[in-house]
C-alpha cells in the first residue's frame, strides 16, 4: 500500500479508501485518522483500473436532472421544512407502502436527510447512551462502529460466514445478546458481500428480538438492487415496524450519489427524538435534490430496472470469472459487489490487494476493511462498464496464473 499512501493531501476522501487506509495502518476507528485524506480513485497512478468505488457508473436519469434544472429556473432555492419537503415525504411514504406494504405517516414518521449516512448517524446518536452495546453484522459498511464509539456505545461484532451465504443466523445473534444490548444494525442487501436476507431468514431473527427491548436499524440503501428475488424488509414482519428505524436513500438505486439525499422512517416517538438532533445539525437537506427526488420516486422506475438489468449481466460475468480462476466466489443477490475468497492464494487480503495493484495495476478493496470477518476476501465493485470489467479480469487472471507458476 506504499503507492496508495503517497496519494494524500489535496484530494477528497472516499469512505472505502479511508477504510482501506485505516486497515493498512493498524487503526480501528475513524478517530485514528488525523489530517490525511485519501483520493477516491486510483487514477493518479498511471494505467490503474479501479474496481473499488461503490458508486453507480450510470448517469442520473434525465427526468431527475430536468426536475433539478426546473427547480433552479423557478428559483426554488430556499430551505425546506427541517424534516424535508412535504411533497417528498408523501412520495417516500407512498413508495415504501408500494414496495413493502408498510405504512408510515409522512408528517410524523419520516425525515429527509443528507444522504443515508446522516440518517444512520442521527439514529444511532438518538438511541445510544454510554455503555450501551450495539450489535453490528459484519462484514459491513465501515461507518457503523465509529459512530457507535463516538456516542460512547460499545460496538459488538456479529460475524456472518461464507458457508451461511453471509446471512445473519439466529444462533450467531443469540450468542452476542446481553442485558446491555440496545440496538441491532442490520445491513442488507449487504455491502461488501452482496448478501440478502429473505423473509425466511428474517423470521427467526424477529422471533428472538420480539422477546427483548432491542431496537433495529435496518440499512436498506441497496433495496432496489436485487437479482432474482424482491427485497424483503424486517419491517414487514409482525411486531417489527414499531422497533425498527428504516434507512434508505437515492444514491444507489437512482444513481444520485452526489445529490446527497436519504431518509429514515420510524415510529413517531423515535422520529420525534431523532428530529431534535437533525434540526440542530442540518437546516434542511439540499432543496434542489429534494424536488428532483420527487421525480425519481414517481417517474423513474423503468430507468432503475434498466440499471439493475445491466448490473445483473456484470454480476454474472464476475462471479463466473472468479470461480473459473479458482477463487471461490459467493453468488451475491443484492448491491453491486462480489466478494471472492482469496485464501487459496496463501496471501492475506491486504497482501493480495497490494501485490495486485503493484503488479497488474488493478485496485480492489481488502475484505478486512469491512471487519475482521472479511479477512481472506476482497471486495470487487461491478459499478463499471463491461469493457472496464473485462480488462480488469484479464489482468487479475494473469496475476493469479503467475502466482500458480511460482508455487
Residue 394 pLDDT: 98
Contact 157, 181 (CB under 8 A): no
Contact 355, 40 (CB under 8 A): no
Contact 94, 301 (CB under 8 A): no
Residue 264 pLDDT: 98
Residue 54 pLDDT: 87
Residue 53 pLDDT: 87
Task: Find residue 243's DSSP bridge partners.
Answer: none
User: CA 70, CA 73: separation in Å to the nearest integer?
Assistant: 5
Are 50 and 148 part of one and the same domain? Answer: no
User: CA 303, CA 34: separation in Å to the nearest integer?
Assistant: 41
Residue 11 pLDDT: 29
Are 223 and 82 part of one and the same domain? Answer: yes
Task: State which residues form the domain around 388.
Answer: 2-59+303-406
Residue 102 pLDDT: 98
CA 75 to chain centre: 33
Task: Please identify every stretch of the chain with a pLDDT value under 50, giving residue numbers as ranges.
Answer: 1-43
Are 273 and 325 part of one and the same domain? Answer: no
CATH number at residue 335: 3.90.1150.10
- DSSP code at position 109: S
pLDDT in tens, 354-398: 999 999 999 999 999 999 999 999 999 999 999 999 999 999 999
- 110: three-class secondary structure by DSSP: strand
Say if 66 falls within a structural domain: no
Residue closest to 245 by CA, chosen among 102, 130, 354, 358: 102
pLDDT in tens, 5-63: 333 232 233 434 444 443 344 333 333 332 233 334 344 567 899 999 889 999 999 99
User: CA 267, CA 350: separation in Å to the nearest integer?
Assistant: 42
User: CA 372, CA 394: separation in Å to the nearest integer?
Assistant: 29
Residue closest to 145 by CA, chosen among 137, 216, 18: 137
Are 365 and 260 part of one and the same domain? Answer: no
- 278: three-class secondary structure by DSSP: helix
Query: Pick from 280, 299, 318: which residue ends a domain?
Result: 299
> pTM for this structure?
0.89
Contacts of 73 (CB under 8 A, 6+ apart): none
Query: Pick from 299, 328, 345: which residue ends a domain?
Result: 299
- DSSP code at position 41: S
Task: Find residue 226's DSSP bridge partners.
Answer: 334
Say if 204 falls within a structural domain: yes
Are 131 and 222 part of one and the same domain? Answer: yes
Contact 106, 88 (CB under 8 A): no
Residue 5 pLDDT: 37
Place of cell 508455487: 407
Query: Pick from 272, 299, 326: which residue ends a domain?
Result: 299
Amino acid at each position: 500500500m506504499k503507492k496508495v499512501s503517497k496519494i494524500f493531501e489535496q484530494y477528497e476522501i472516499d469512505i472505502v479508501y479511508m477504510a482501506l487506509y485505516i486497515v493498512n495502518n493498524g487503526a480501528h476507528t475513524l478517530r485514528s485518522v488525523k489530517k490525511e485524506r485519501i483520493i477516491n480513485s486510483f487514477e493518479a497512478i498511471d494505467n490503474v483500473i479501479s474496481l473499488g468505488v461503490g458508486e453507480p457508473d450510470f448517469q442520473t436519469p434525465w427526468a431527475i436532472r430536468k426536475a433539478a434544472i426546473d427547480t433552479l429556473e423557478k428559483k426554488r432555492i430556499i430551505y425546506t421544512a427541517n424534516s424535508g419537503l412535504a411533497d417528498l415525504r408523501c412520495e417516500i411514504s407512498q413508495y415504501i407502502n408500494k414496495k413493502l406494504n408498510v405504512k408510515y405517516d409522512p408528517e410524523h414518521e419520516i425525515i429527509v436527510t443528507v444522504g443515508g449516512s446522516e440518517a444512520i448517524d442521527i439514529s444511532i446518536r438518538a438511541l445510544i447512551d454510554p455503555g450501551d452495546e450495539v450489535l453490528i453484522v459484519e462484514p459491513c459498511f465501515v461507518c457503523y462502529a465509529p459512530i457507535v464509539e463516538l456516542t460512547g456505545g460499545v460496538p459488538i461484532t456479529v460475524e456472518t460466514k461464507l458457508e451461511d451465504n453471509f446471512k445473519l443466523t439466529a444462533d450467531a445473534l443469540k450468542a452476542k445478546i446481553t442485558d446491555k444490548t440496545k440496538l441491532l444494525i442490520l445491513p442488507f442487501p449487504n455491502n461488501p458481500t452482496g448478501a440478502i436476507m429473505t423473509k425466511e431468514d428474517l423470521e427467526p431473527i424477529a422471533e428472538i428480538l420480539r422477546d427483548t427491548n432491542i431496537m433495529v436499524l435496518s440499512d436498506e440503501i441497496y433495496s432496489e438492487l436485487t437479482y432474482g428475488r424482491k427485497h424483503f424488509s424486517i419491517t414487514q414482519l409482525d411486531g417489527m415496524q414499531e422497533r425498527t428505524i428504516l434507512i434508505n436513500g437515492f444514491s444507489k438505486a437512482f444513481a444520485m450519489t452526489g445529490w446527497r439525499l436519504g431518509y429514515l422512517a420510524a415510529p413517531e416517538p423515535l422520529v420525534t427524538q431523532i428530529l431534535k438532533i437533525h434540526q440542530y445539525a442540518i437546516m434542511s437537506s439540499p432543496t434542489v435534490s429534494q424536488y428532483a427526488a420527487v421525480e425519481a420516486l414517481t417517474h423513474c422506475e423503468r430507468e432503475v430496472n434498466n440499471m439493475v438489468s445491466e448490473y445483473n449481466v456484470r454480476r454474472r460475468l464476475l462471479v463466473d470469472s472468479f470461480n473459473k480462476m479458482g477463487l471461490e466466489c459467493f453468488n451475491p443477490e443484492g448491491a453491486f459487489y462480489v466478494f471472492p475468497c482469496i485464501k487459496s492464494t496463501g496471501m492475506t487480503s491486504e497482501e493480495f490487494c497490494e501485490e495486485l495493484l503493484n503488479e497488474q495495476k488493478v485496485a480492489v478493496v481488502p475484505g478486512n476493511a469491512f471487519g475482521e470477518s472479511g479477512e481472506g476476501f476482497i471486495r470487487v465493485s461491478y459499478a463499471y462498464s463491461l469493457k472496464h470489467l473485462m480488462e480488469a479480469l484479464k489482468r487479475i487472471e494473469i496475476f493469479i496464473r503467475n502466482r500458480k507458476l511460482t508455487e
